Amino acid sequence: MHQANGGILIISLRTLLAQPLLWMRLKNIVNRERFDWVAFDESRPLPVSVPSMPLKLKVILVGRTRIIG
């Protein structure tokens, strides 16, 4: 994410549909324009507190339209 900051993130539609939580997180990040570091596994928190960072990006979804339906 931080590498796409200020630019464009191109991501596969198939990837997002296979991981609904990733889609929800991405929408949240784009809408809030902030990236919050969270642990992948809630039972194992991050070892240190990392402050959120401002994030401005555009997202392009790539894939076949029939995947959506």
**pTM of the complete model:** 0.71
Three-state SS sequence of 10-56: EEEHHHHHHCHHHHHHHHHHHHHCEECCCCCCCCCCCCCCCCCEECC
Binned at pLDDT 50, 70 and 90, residue 64 comes out as: confident
Structure tokens at 62: 């790539």
Give the separation between CA 46 and CA 17, rounded to whole angstroms.
27
pLDDT, tens digit (0-9, with 9 covering 90-100), for 12-51? 988 888 988 888 888 998 999 998 777 676 777 777 777 8
Where along the chain do its domains lie? 2-67
Count of beta carbons in the 10 Å neighbourhood of residue 35: 20
What is the model's pLDDT at position 3?
77
Does 69 have pLDDT greater than 70?
no
